[in-house]
Chains A and B, each alone.
Chain A
Amino acid sequence: MTPPVLSCRNLRKVYAGQVVLDGLDLDVDEHEVVALIGASGSGKSTLLRCVNLLEEPDDGTVHLDGEHITAPGIDPDLVRRRIGIVFQAYNLFPHLRVLDNITLAPVRVHRRPRAEAEAQARELLARVGLAERADSYPDRLSGGQQQRVAIVRALVNSPRLLLLDEVTSALDPELVGEVLTMIRSLKAEGMTMVLATHEMGFAREVADRVCFLDGGRVLEQGPPEQVLGEPTQPRTRRFLRRIIEAGRL
């Protein structure tokens, strides 16, 4: 049996005396889309940053395709090449054109010929309707366009696993749709994804499994209908009630 793409065991992370991850376990299988939900500070972003080795967990292990990537002496640069991450605030490079944002890693990290990388980048941009923005600088683009570029920038490296950290939270409501459409088509292509989100409707639609994080652990998980529809844990119910009151479900 093949190991899961991602396997976190007993992850623990403490920031300035505050426990953010408290023995968290999570497995993600190939082609699976897992949505992480939970209140702010429940550890969603920290979990994603630990998986991508942007943060070093205080305890526990992360395995990627069965390889122990939190082992001492592992080269984090080599691991990160296999994982894509998209941030809430896009984090595009403001001094580079859209095209150069996308081709930076393929050319410099993966040593691919520039012409080939640019051709692929233009093709991907065209597929998400941004072909004519290739030569613009990021500050000329709307938030939704910037976030789509950021997703393309992560995808162009053909990652094994894509992490999406509240990618629609900074967007105006009318721009959320274009980003969600893009994630939907990624799912259709079979991309393995872990997404932290506040968009419950979207989590229900796109996720194979929803994990409710609370106090630095996965408190409840299962198919979206079950976790979002008939949660068994009182804390999950309370969280979802607040979300409904805020009109986000």
Chain B
Amino acid sequence: MRSTDHPLSPVALERAAYRKRQTVRSVLVAAASTGVLGTLLVVTVTGAPGWDRVRQSFLDLRIARAALPEIVTGLWLNLRLLVFCAVGALAVGLVVALLRTLRGPVFFPLRTLAAGYTYTFRGLPLIIVLYVFTLGVPGLRLQGMPSVLVLGAAALVLTYGGYLAEVFRAGIESVHPSQLAAARSLGLTHRQTMRYVVLPQAVRRVTPPMLNDVVALQKDVGLVSLAGPIDAVRAAQIATAETFNYTPYIVAGVLFVLLAVPLIAVTDWVTLRAARRQAAR
């Protein structure tokens, strides 16, 4: 810190003045280039020959207002599904990642099962998993079959659990072997080492990619509508079919973005904090 009573040399004053001029200059340049690009975009889009038609069929305020309640009802389903599936997928991912770290011959079947699971569900397209769960499984006509919604959520949990398992595993493997050596040398068992030394560091490190998967999940939970339940996108589709106007899709899109903003902001903040911590070392 420079103390305020310290008299600055002429060179330092000159440098400060130069920096200030440069800052003003950069702000002006940024404003000008943004203005030019914005104007260009607006002129191109609104000047296009088909603009009037597009505006009528995608940006009709009256239709937007009419479709909003149904879409919001659908979005409420998305939100509930997201919370349930995110918690479920994180739990499945963590357990599977831990199973893959187990050593010893007793755990061979569990290890193999866990590896097979991540291979299968990361490879399978989500839509196929959804169809199998929501259409195939009820076909078994078992007693106490849960609703289509629960089955669809299970499909989402299994698919995203596969991705998250690999994220967690990457985190676990990123913890340096010297940390394990230190923990084991203190007499901690494998399980205690995982619980108190490896996992806390691993989870902290993979929080950004983990939240990224949750943001992706947020968009994919709506796919349960393939099996019947009406989510926001499906509600928009119904409204579109009634009016032959695509505005409801735009409404749903805007709502999705608004829903994602807080989550993405948290992801950015966590990433930034992790980067700062790294830099502080």
Inter-subunit contact B181/A87 (CB<8 Å): yes
Contact with A along B172-198 (1 / 0, CB 8 A): 000000110111111111001000110
Inter-subunit contact A105/B204 (CB<8 Å): no
Inter-subunit contact B179/A109 (CB<8 Å): no
Chain B interface SS verdict (over half): helix
Which of B178, B186, B204 is in CB contact (< 8 Å) with A80?
Answer: B186
A87 to nearest B CB, angstroms? Answer: 7
Residues of A contacting B186 in the complex (Cβ-Cβ under 8 angstroms): 80-81, 104-105, 109, 153-154, 157
Q: Which residue of B lies closest to A107 (CB)?
A: B196
A156 to nearest B CB, angstroms? Answer: 9
CA A78 – CA B189 in complex, angstroms?
A: 9
Q: Does B103 lie at the interface of the complex (its beta carbon under 8 Å from any beta carbon of A)?
A: no
Inter-subunit contact B281/A139 (CB<8 Å): yes
Name the residue among B178, B189, B196, B197 with the largest chain A CB count within 10 angstroms: B196
Inter-subunit contact A139/B201 (CB<8 Å): no
CA A154 – CA B182 in complex, angstroms?
A: 10
Q: Does B200 lie at the interface of the complex (its beta carbon under 8 Å from any beta carbon of A)?
A: yes
Question: Which A137-176 residues have C-beta < 8 A from chain B?
Answer: 139, 153-154, 157
Binds B, one of A26-34, A91-99, A236-244: A91-99
CA A139 – CA B276 in complex, angstroms?
A: 13
Inter-subunit contact A93/B187 (CB<8 Å): no
Given contacts A95-B200, A104-B196, A108-B196, contact A80 B181 (CB under 8 A): no
A contacts with B, residue count (CB < 8 A): 27
Q: Which residue of B lies closest to A94 (CB)?
A: B201
Q: Does B280 lie at the interface of the complex (its beta carbon under 8 Å from any beta carbon of A)?
A: yes
Q: Does A42 lie at the interface of the complex (its beta carbon under 8 Å from any beta carbon of B)?
A: no
Q: Which residue of B lies closest to A54 (CB)?
A: B181
CA A31 – CA B179 in complex, angstroms?
A: 29
Inter-subunit contact B187/A81 (CB<8 Å): yes
Which of B185, B189, B196 is in CB contact (< 8 Å) with A52?
Answer: B185
Contact with A along B9-47 (1 / 0, CB 8 A): 000000000000000000000000000000000000000
CA A89 – CA B178 in complex, angstroms?
A: 9
Which of A95, A104, A110, A153 is in CB contact (< 8 Å) with B201?
Answer: A95
CA A54 – CA B183 in complex, angstroms?
A: 11
How many of chain B's residues touch chain A, expressed as a range?
10 to 19
Given contacts A104-B196, A139-B280, contact A93 B185 (CB under 8 A): no
Which of A80, A91, A139 is in CB contact (< 8 Å) with B187?
Answer: A80
Inter-subunit contact A157/B187 (CB<8 Å): yes
Q: Which residue of A lies closest to B189 (CB)?
A: A77
B47 to nearest A CB, angstroms? Answer: 57
Given contacts A93-B197, A108-B196, A139-B281, contact A77 B188 (CB under 8 A): yes
CA A153 – CA B187 in complex, angstroms?
A: 12
Q: Does A85 lie at the interface of the complex (its beta carbon under 8 Å from any beta carbon of B)?
A: yes
Q: Which residue of A lies closest to B195 (CB)?
A: A108
Q: Which residue of B lies closest to A93 (CB)?
A: B197
Residues of A contacting B183 in the complex (Cβ-Cβ under 8 angstroms): 93, 104
Inter-subunit contact B182/A80 (CB<8 Å): no
Q: Which residue of B lies closest to A109 (CB)?
A: B187
A55 to nearest B CB, angstroms? Answer: 10
Residues of B contacting A105 in the complex (Cβ-Cβ under 8 angstroms): 186-188
Q: Which residue of A lies closest to B186 (CB)?
A: A105
Q: Which residue of A lies closest to B176 (CB)?
A: A91
B258 to nearest A CB, angstroms? Answer: 35
A26 to nearest B CB, angstroms? Answer: 19
The 4 closest A-B pairs by CB, nearest first: A81-B187, A91-B182, A105-B186, A109-B187
With contacts A89-B178, A108-B188 known, what are 20 further pairs, Cβ within 8 A?
A49-B181, A54-B185, A77-B188, A80-B184, A81-B186, A87-B182, A91-B178, A93-B179, A93-B182, A93-B183, A93-B201, A95-B201, A95-B204, A105-B187, A105-B188, A109-B188, A109-B192, A139-B280, A153-B186, A154-B186
Q: Which residues of B pack against A, CB within 8 Å?
A: 178-179, 181-189, 192, 196-197, 200-201, 204, 280-281
24 of the cross-chain contacts (CB-CB < 8 Å) are: A49-B181, A54-B181, A54-B185, A77-B184, A77-B187, A77-B188, A80-B184, A80-B186, A84-B185, A91-B178, A91-B179, A91-B181, A92-B182, A93-B179, A93-B183, A95-B200, A95-B201, A104-B183, A104-B188, A104-B196, A105-B186, A108-B192, A139-B281, A154-B186
